[in-house]
Amino acid sequence: MIDRSTIDRIYAAANIVDIVSDYVTLKKKGMNYQACCPFHNEKTPSFVVSPSKGVFKCFGCGKGGNAVTFVMEQENISYPEALKIVAKRYGIQVEEREQTEEDVRRNNDRESMFALNGWASEYFSKYLTGNAEGKSIGYSYFSQKRGFTDATIRKFGLGFCSAAGDAMVEAALAAGYKQEYLLSTGLALTRESDGRLRDRFRDRVIFPVHNISGRVVAFGGRTLRTDKSVAKYQNSPESEIYSKKRELYGLYFAKKAIQQLDFAIMVEGYTDVISMHQAGVENVVSSSGTSLTVEQIQLLHRFTRNITVIYDGDSAGIKASLRGIDLILKEGMNVRVVLLPEPEDPDSFARSHTAEQVQQYIRENEEDFLTFKAKLMLSEAGQDPIKRSEVINDMVRSIVQIPDSIQRSVFIKECARIMDIDENVLVSEVARKRAVASGDKVGEEFIRRQQAQIRRQQSSSTEMLSGQISTAKQISAGSSQDALECELVKYLLKSGHKSFEVQEGRNIVAINIADEIFRNLDADKILFSNPIYAEILATYRRLWQESGVGVEVAAQHFVNHVNPEVCNASVDILFSDDNYVASELWRKKDVHIESESEILSIGVPKAIMLYRSKVIERMIMDIYAKLKDESLDEQQQGEMMMQLDRLNQVKLAIAKEIQRLIL
């Protein structure tokens, strides 16, 4: 367990912008930063990072938190693990107390697999340079045939696995790693003959696969044999920590260059990526020989909207891969294509050219994907009318994927020119296919949103003119108990130190908001049912009692709370903006705009009364349920009836107070 003082040091050092920038390309907007959310797919940025508050918030999917909880969500890891990652970034030493048996039992499989993969990566790397077999086979392949320098070999953690068959397995078991994790990570296989473990990657050079934060999630092993019966590549299987469709090889090493240059280069294999990096072109990633997936594209979309795909000069798979690139268009990204001269591939081209020459070739030879595709397919179709119609239909399918209407229009015009076809024909066909793909529900949803927006605008205007309190999420008598608990917590976090004025007789009395909320809750001995809001309430009460009435309780106590769920809920509340801001137009027309004190003088008592009413209703229902128990004696029934009578009187009094507040 990490002690509180170390946690405080981590939070004090953590820069939310630095942390989030490791995963997402942020753009400054006013005092904050903005990006497309990394947690859900969106075209318009709704993800906001506030450096002053030290928090992030997505107004699309609702996720929010601090630097540590962002890493938690991004890496799908535990709170202590996220603390360690952030601490490591800022050079903070994390000292933990000795783990108990219970702590050891709680170590999940995921972390154990990460630990084993990290060990295996070091093992393969050391075997490559520190063992005679590794040097003569693996190291000579990397250094002589591929031309990789020692620095490049170390950077990418390249290694070699012995041909012995079980050398790595035996070393892992001797180091204390369990057999179950050797199997679940795919580092080991079971022999059919005797059930013993053997190395999956035996007699292969090793390419570790890192996730976006640099942890080893898988391995790729290449055989150096010429035997056609042996698979050229052997890869780690899917596991708890590795999903092939969610990882891009080299992204961990490329993400900063991609952000700086605002475009990514997509190549095919491991060595293509490594050679390009060694040549000085670092904004390069690979899908590792598999077809691009939506998850990989969305991962790349965090850093840029621009992708350049490099094809081998003699690649026979260009046409087969074209359909996969349609996915990139569908995600709203810009795709360009570079065709290398035969017989070059990115690996050989990078090794025979300088970084400047590679970059210049890309600039001079890249063209937009759809123009490239149209020319390629038309050259194959020739003058055959049937094949040409198939090409046109294929181009229409690609253009349909583009979400931006202006881009669609530009590409329709260009494709009509290249394919020598009436532009109107393409326009109508694209429109028809988009209508079929989206269906009538899209139009219905649009109309529904428009009508809802008009109703909201009309409602807002009416409330302003009538002088009523207007809030974005106004509570009502029908609000749930959970919503009311949230409302009370919101008043505490945002305005607990403030006061509102009420008239008592002839006097105007100032009432502190936190004091009023706690006084009412204590009067009925009410405890919050929502555990997150209950923890926020308890934390606030403790800090409030320590600081005194009227002293503001700092938001950082909740934003950096040790419970990530408390942190996320607090960020949601602190980022919400319920009170409308009156425009100068209303002021010029002498329309009365309520002050903050006026709003609080109605909102706080109303929220308290509504909440007390809900709790009383629940207590009454509980008593009714207990009265159905036939085993109760007369005394117990009598006590319950008296309690029921008292609660009904309280309920009636609260109802009258709520009615007064509403009127």
What are the sequence ranges of the domains in the chain?
4-104, 108-242, 370-438, 481-662
Confidence of residue 591 (pLDDT cuts 50, 70, 90): very low
Q: Tell me: pLDDT of 5 over 60.
A: yes
Structure-token pair, residue 210? 């890192």
The CATH number of the structural domain formed by 370-438 is 1.20.50
DSSP letters along 508-552, please? EEEEEHHHHHHHHHHHTT---SSHHHHHHHHHHHHHHHHH-TTPP
What's domain 108-242's architecture?
Alpha-Beta Complex (3.90)
Q: Has this prediction a pTM greater than 0.95?
A: no
Confidence of residue 659 (pLDDT cuts 50, 70, 90): low
Mean pLDDT throughout 351-370? 89
Query: Highest-confidence range of 206-220, 408-422, 566-580, 642-656, by mean pLDDT?
Result: 206-220
Nearest to 124 by CA among 138, 110, 104: 138
Confidence of residue 592 (pLDDT cuts 50, 70, 90): very low
Mean pLDDT throughout 456-470? 42
Q: Tell me: pLDDT of 441 over 50.
A: no
Q: Tell me how crowded residue 539 is: count the other CB atoms within 10 A of its CB.
A: 19
Structure-token pair, residue 435? 């209508």
Say how many Å lie between the first and final Cα of the chain, rounded.
54
Helix-, strand-, coil-residue percentages of the chain, each rounded to 5: 55, 10, 30
What does the pLDDT look like over 303-332, one tens digit per residue?
Answer: 888 999 998 765 556 766 676 778 888 888
Residue 54 in contact with residue 556, Cβ under 8 Å?
A: yes
Nearest to 271 by CA among 186, 346, 192: 346
CATH superfamily of 4-104: Zinc finger, CHC2-typedomain (3.90.580.10)
Residue indicated by tokens 């605008």? 457
Structure-token pair, residue 495? 């305005």
